[in-house]
Chain A
Amino acid sequence: MPDTFFGWVIFLLNEYGDLFIQGTVNTVIIAITGTILGFLIGLLIAIARTIPILKNGFLIKKILLKILQFLLGVYVEVVRGTPMIVQSMIVYYGALQYFNIDIPAMTAAILIVSFNTGAYMAEIIRGGIISVDRGQTEGAYSIGMTHWQTMTSVVLPQAVRNIIPSIGNEFVVNIKDSSVLNVISVAELFFMSKSAAGTYLKYFEVFFITACIYLILTFTVTKILGLLEKYMDGPNEFIIHGSQSNSSAVIHVHKNDGGEK
């Protein structure tokens, strides 16, 4: 048996390398899918919650929209107002006891993280949408673009660019907070670390390794998102295009019929 701290670290890595790798892979899978699905859920909610309710629209449409917006508000409040560890227990055991469904642990994990992230993303994206200058929307309306076209081509691309730091933050939170899923026996990094620590009762050494892995994961994510931001901003310079013709361009404005001015 090793007799130094680093001796144990190396020993445990050799002994339980597979567990650490398996746990890390599962944590990454949960964090990535959870963040992406959560982003999509948040996007849909944010769009639904920013559809303008026109005073002179159809009554039925207005009522349905109001109900939808209310329900989405409830969802956001409930998810944000309860700890994920409690949600895990409720979803997993609720499905088991009342519907007799034994959800596979990873599926349950991804579901819970996605819906959790969705609730936070909804607010983040809504903030992003609101932060885009009203003039951008009016510019789009003024050339005939619909609400949907304006959202997808003009507002959302800018909103998403503005909130990349917050999205990255959610991603990092998901890497770390997916550890609470060990309460429903999801084989993520924390759960695997607990198993690895049990045999030799080397909790400190094992969780030192675990902490390093979490740190590497979160650091990598932060770096990648920084690069993504740079990429989305495009180059700092632009290329001058050919040259301006003299004013011989064909003119398409509607001419004054009489020609008098």
Chain B
Amino acid sequence: MAETIIEIKHLEKKFGNNEVLKDINFTANKGEVVAIIGSSGSGKSTLLRCINLLEIPTSGEIIYRNNNIQNGSMSLSQYRTKVGMVFQQFNLFNNMTVLENCVVGQMKVLKRNRKESEEIAKNYLDKVGMLQYINAKPKQISGGQKQRVAIARGLSMDTEVLLFDEPTSALDPEMVGEVLEVMKKLANEGLTMIVVTHEMTFARDVANRVVFMDKGLIVEDDSPKVIFTSPKQQRTREFLSRILRE
């Protein structure tokens, strides 16, 4: 029996009276890589942002290892160190160097000392191939490099799950590969990842499960093999034929 890390029950999110997420039910097991696909505006980002509580769900439950995180059994801060997020726009701290970006959270939130924090940060920066750039400021490195630092920043918190919101969509085409390469490496090492992506090759080859969303609903949730070769739902077929034609 797989160990469930994140479980979402009847999640609903409305902005005003715009119902963006409707009765979302979903789990992520330890070591799984879940790809979330779907057309723009279908609610993928909102779902990730709700999981990280950057948006407050209108109703429903988010359960992390048996803790319902909205009823205070675990502090928000503590929860977010466990479930980190990588953004489309990187969101590195512009006033800090690459190293400082990966150190500040460890010191402030996890109360680690500087020496230990720097060691851990350098270790992960090495892993994403950014060790040489620890003294650089975000504006001095490329988009692909920024995204790799953002991944290292998340990992430095000893994150158990990383949420990725279209991590390569803001990148020039020649930089997409380096970021996907790092993500693949993490997947192989057993990191639990939930990845919103338009990179169908990644979803097909790296993910263990693919979730297709449309208009705020999860339409289909299955193995990449099923989704990409014999999807059960008409809407999934339509979406895939549209996107794979491009």
Listed from nearest, the 10 A-B pairs whose CB atoms lie closest are A256-B31, A139-B91, A256-B190, A143-B105, A142-B85, A135-B91, A144-B80, A144-B81, A144-B109, A238-B136
Question: Which of B31, B109, B157 has the most C-beta atoms of chain A within 10 angstroms of its own C-beta?
Answer: B31
Does residue B93 face the partner (Cβ distance < 8 Å to A)?
A: yes
- Interface residues of A, CB < 8 Å — how many? 43
- A135's partner among B3, B89, B109, B137 (CB-CB below 8 A) is B89
**Nearest opposing residue in chain B for A240, CB measure:** B132
Bitwise, B114-150 to A at CB < 8 A (1) or not (0) is: 0000001001101101011111110010000000001
Q: List 27 A-B contacts (CB under 8 A).
A: A133-B91, A138-B85, A139-B91, A140-B105, A141-B80, A142-B80, A144-B78, A144-B81, A144-B105, A144-B109, A145-B104, A153-B104, A154-B93, A234-B137, A238-B133, A240-B133, A251-B189, A252-B120, A253-B155, A253-B191, A254-B30, A254-B191, A256-B31, A256-B190, A259-B190, A261-B31, A261-B188
Which one of A234, A245, A258 contacts B126 once the chains associate, using CB atoms below 8 Å?
A245
CB-CB under 8 A from B97, the residues of chain A are: 238
Q: How many angstroms between the C-alpha atoms of A141 and B80 in the bound complex?
A: 8
Q: How far is the CA of A257 from the CA of B30 in the complex (A)?
A: 8
Min CB gap B32→A, angstroms: 8
Which residues does chain A contribute within 8 Å of B134, judged by CB atoms?
A: 241
B interface residue numbers (CB < 8 A to A)? 3, 30-31, 52, 54, 56, 76-81, 84-85, 87, 89-95, 97, 104-105, 108-110, 120, 123-124, 126-127, 129, 131-137, 140, 150, 153-155, 157-158, 160, 186-192, 208
Are B160 and A145 in contact (CB-based, < 8 A)? no
The residue that A143 contacts in the complex, of B95, B136, B140, B154, with Cβ under 8 A, is B154
A158 at the interface (CB under 8 A from B): yes
A136 at the binding interface (Cβ < 8 Å): yes
Given contacts A55-B56, A138-B87, A261-B31, contact A243 B132 (CB under 8 A): yes
* Contact surface of A with B, Cβ cutoff 8 Å: 55-56, 133, 135-136, 138-146, 149, 153-154, 157-158, 161, 234, 237-245, 247, 249-259, 261
Residues from chain A with Cβ under 8 Å of B123 in the complex: 249-250, 252
CA distance A163 to B105 in the complex (A): 26
Partner of B77 from A144, A238, A245, A261 at Cβ < 8 Å: A144
Among A141, A144, A234, A251, which residue has the most Cβ atoms of chain B within 10 A?
A: A144
Tell me the bound Cα distance from A86 to B41 in angstroms: 56
In the complex, how many angstroms separate the beta carbon of A259 from the nearest chain B beta carbon?
Answer: 8
List 9 extra interface pairs beyond A138-B85, A144-B77, A145-B77, CB under 8 A: A139-B90, A141-B52, A142-B52, A161-B95, A241-B134, A242-B131, A247-B127, A252-B120, A253-B155
Q: Inside 8 A of A56's CB, which chain B residues have their CB?
A: 56
> How many Å lie between the Cα of A252 and that of B104 in the bound state?
19
Considering the complex, give the chain B residue whose CB is closest to the CB of A236. B140
A240 to B108 alpha-carbon distance, docked (Å): 27
Q: Are B95 and A157 in contact (CB under 8 A)?
A: yes
| B160:A158 contact, CB within 8 angstroms | no
Rounded to whole Å, the gap between the CB of A242 and the closest CB of chain B is 7
**B85 to A: closest C-beta gap in Å:** 4
**Cα distance A144–B31 when bound, in Å?**
22
Q: Which partner residue on chain A sits nearest B129 by CB separation?
A: A244
